[in-house]
Amino acid sequence: MTRPYTVGRALVRGTLTVGTGSHKVVGVKQPDAEKGAGGPRGMRRPEGGAPREGMAAGAAPGERADKAPDKPSDKTKDEPVVSPVVMGNTEAWRMPAPAAPAAVLVRNATLWTAGPQGTLQNADLLVRAGKIAAVGKGVTAPAGAVVIDGSGKHVAPGIIDEHSHSAILGNVNECTNSVTCEVRIQDVINSESVNIYRQLAGGTTIMHLLHGSCNAIGGQLSVIKNKWGESPARLLMPNVAPTVKFALGENPKQSNFGAQRAAPPRYPQSRAGVEQVIRDAFTRARDYKAEWTEWNAKKQGLPPRRDIQTEALTQMIDGRMLIHCHSYRQDEILMLMRLCEDFGFKVNTFTHILEGYKVADEMATHGVSAMGFSDWWGYKFEVIDAIPYSGYIMWDRGVNTGFNSDDSELARRLNTEAAKAVKYGGVPPEEAIKFVTLNPARSLQIDDRVGSLVVGKDADFSIWNGSPLSPYAACEQTWIEGRKYFDRAEDLAGRATLAKERDALVARVKAQKKEGPGAGPPGGRRAWPPRYLEETDMSGTDCGLDGHPAMPFMSETERKALLNGEVQR
């Protein structure tokens, strides 16, 4: 339908189309003659009573003449600029779900299975109903299957980023408390983050979303699939073991907070204090569990007071919530493993783990995964002993080892991070590819469903024009559960259409720009309504305490009051 409506002080004419899988909302500002009081929706004629262009003499306001306007330039004033729905559109909500073929066959490619079959030359990959149905040579294409010629191409499992902040809405690092395991990342997933699409372009199909590291025991985390265009709820990977963020070292003791440090300082302020915070929390959880066990057995008196933070802690003790711990120094790594063993369970994953090479044997005995950086070092004092051979040494000692990004830009090139395991230590390529596919899946305990090209697993894979470990290779297609979410050729083809849309929008703005007094937002303030995502800190790690120029995510009422000077931050 098309009708004029008001946004702020501007009258616009928009088109709203709602259909299965996609919708669009587009609008253009109306000529100045449609403003002001009088007539329906505040429209009036220009001074002198003459009808405006395009209106029949004596016609009611809003009634159009039968004949076309005299000036060709006026003909398109009221026509909306329609956004094209093409691969590469950075507005996720415009994109329909990709087609789901009944079968897909990639024929005659090099398959990096990351499984028992290793790397297969001139082999075929068959997908049925979103699952891998066959891997090998001479696979027959079913009737109606989408067949992809894989000659000269390489097919790899979808890359899994175990440590990502790329699709989180606003400041989510709750730094006001040392224990915050009652909060959840799944409540603040940003399905419109363009990082999802950009990482698809690098073959990344799964992200494990974490907040920052200012808490000894942080919040609950989320595993999502990069299904560009889906809602937050549909991004979440179902039936995944809950995970939680822990942190050791400088960040939870806030030694590097500077002027951000609260007054009085928040406990703990030392590494010893970090250990005691964790031990106290688990002791409290053990007592809480015992209270409930006793009450459930006797059913006498009032039940214990329910505490969702402590319930999360009991899940950790029971091994039902997996700990992923930000860590650097070997003494703290040993401390947390021994502390958890005192309570009868194990740490699931150490992330970053830059001094893991010093305690690799102890980690292997404990059974913990190591998802770290390939070659980061020297960026702060507690990483002074980091070496690029750490990943190789931990892998060589039997630790489930992988590399993660901790950075939205690096997440687009995790394939070349895996290649560094070959450079630093000589990990065989067939094992190096697992550093960003199967091994992260193991750390998240989802390796029975993803991480390798094995029959029965989800059809999450990427197609490359060369070895996925080569810095010269480009990802050409990325598939998730048998649907194509990225195609490099389609992306390139759509850029001209998107550029045309941009040029049309710029031309429209220039043509209707006001000149002189009154131009721009009233009082010289920022434009209203604001673009929430552009004006919000989207790092996924920010505490909101450092005077960041971007505003924290808040309600429309709060934001408007702040911009109008009615309240202070």
Give the pLDDT of residue 124. 98
| Tokens 């031309």, located at residue | 507
Of residues 310, 309, 308, 305, the one with CA closest to residue 283: 310
How much is the average pLDDT of 473-482?
A: 98
Could you tell me the pTM of the whole model? 0.80
What's the pLDDT at 561? 76
Which residue type is seen at 79?
E
| pLDDT tier at 555, thresholds 50, 70, 90 | low
Mean pLDDT of 381-410: 96
- Coil, strand or helix: which one is 225? strand
pLDDT tens digits, 155-213: 999 999 999 999 998 778 888 899 999 999 999 999 999 999 999 999 999 999 999 99
The DSSP line for 332-352 is HHHHHHHHHHHTT----EEEE
Token pair recorded at residue 50? 């003459």
**Among 193, 175, 195, CA closest to 183:** 175
Give all domains of the chain, ordered by start, each with its CATH number. Answer: 2-95+500-530 (no CATH), 101-158+451-481 (2.30.40.10), 160-443 (3.20.20.140)
Distance from C-alpha of 372 to C-alpha of 157, rounded to nearest angstrom: 20
CB proximity list for 117: less than 8 A, separation 6 or greater: 111, 135, 136
Residue type, 551: M
Q: Give the integer Cα–Cα distance in Å for 61 and 74.
A: 17
Q: CA–CA distance from 560 to each of 9, 185, 528, 565, 568 (Å)? A: 15, 26, 8, 9, 11
Q: Tokens 């109008």 map to which residue?
A: 564
Q: What is the pLDDT of residue 127?
A: 98
For range 505-517, the mean pLDDT: 73
Confidence band, pLDDT 50/70/90 cuts, at residue 527: low
Average model confidence (pLDDT) across the chain: 84
How much of the chain, in percent, has pLDDT values that exceed 70?
Answer: 77
**CB of 428 closer than 8 Å to CB of 419:** no
The pLDDT of residue 32 is 40
Distance from the Cα of residue 87 to its chain's centroid: 19
The pLDDT assigned to 78 comes to 64
pLDDT of residue 175: 86
For residue 59, pLDDT beyond 90: no
Q: Please give the Cα distance from 199 to 486 (Å, whole number).
A: 10
The pLDDT score that the predictor gives to residue 255 is 80
pLDDT digits (tens, 9 = 90+) for 498-507: 999 999 999 8
Residue 520: partners with Cβ closer than 8 Å, 6 or more residues away: 514, 527
- Angstrom distances, CA of residue 441 to CA of 53, 323, 449, 450: 64, 15, 9, 7
Say which residue, 206 or 518, is predicted with more confidence: 206
Q: How do residues 232-247 score in pLDDT, each as one tens digit?
A: 999 999 999 999 999 9
Dump pLDDT digits (tens) for 528-554. 444 555 556 666 776 665 544 445 556
Confidence of residue 5 (pLDDT cuts 50, 70, 90): very low
263-284 pLDDT, tens digit each = 778 889 899 999 999 999 999 9
Question: Rounded to an integer, what distance in angstroms lies between the CA atom of residue 492 and that of residue 508?
Answer: 25
Query: Given a cut of 70, is residue 72 above it in pLDDT?
Result: no
pLDDT at 55 over 70: no
| Residue with the larger pLDDT of the pair 451 and 268 | 451
CB count in 10 Å sphere of residue 434: 26
Percent of the chain exceeding pLDDT 90 equals 66
Q: Give the mean pLDDT of 427-455.
A: 98
Give pLDDT, residue 74.
55
Mean pLDDT value of segment 100-124: 98
Q: Specify the long-range contacts of residues 55-61, CB closer than 8 Å, at least 24 apart.
A: none
- Cis status of the peptide bond prior to 517, with omega within 30 of 0: no
Strand pairing report for 222-225 and 204-209: antiparallel
Q: What is the mean pLDDT of residues 511-523?
A: 56
**According to the model, what pLDDT value does residue 56 have?**
42
Task: Tell me how many degrees the CA angle 503-231-8 measures, rounded to the nearest 5.
Answer: 50
Give pLDDT tens digits for 314-337. 999 999 999 999 999 999 999 999
Rank 11-15, 176-180, 254-258, 402-406 by mean pLDDT and report only the highest.
402-406
Task: Tell me the residue type at 271.
Answer: R
Q: Indicate if the pLDDT at residue 77 is higher than 50.
A: yes
- Give the pLDDT band of residue 15 (cuts 50, 70, 90): very low
Residues written for the chain: 569
pLDDT at 495 over 90: yes
State yes or no: pLDDT of 6 exceeds 80.
no
pLDDT per position as a tens digit, 412-426:
999 999 999 999 999
pLDDT of residue 459: 98
Pairing, β 475-480 against β 159-164: unpaired
Q: How far apart are CA 109 and CA 125, in angstroms?
A: 8
Q: Which of 558, 510, 505, 489 is nearest to 530 (CA)?
A: 558
Q: At what angle do helices 271-298 and 308-317 cross, to 10 degrees?
A: 100
Q: Report the pLDDT value the prediction gives residue 75, as an integer from 0 to 100.
A: 54
Q: Looking at this protein, which amino acid is placed at residue 262?
A: A
The mean pLDDT of 353-358, rounded to a whole number, is 97
Predicted confidence (pLDDT) at residue 57 exceeds the cutoff of 90: no
pLDDT in tens, 296-314: 999 999 999 999 999 999 9
Q: Is the pLDDT confidence value at 2 over 80?
A: no
DSSP 151-191: TT-EEEEPEEEEEE-TTB-S----TT-SB-TT-BGGGGB-T
367: amino acid identity, one letter: G
Amino acid in position 360: A
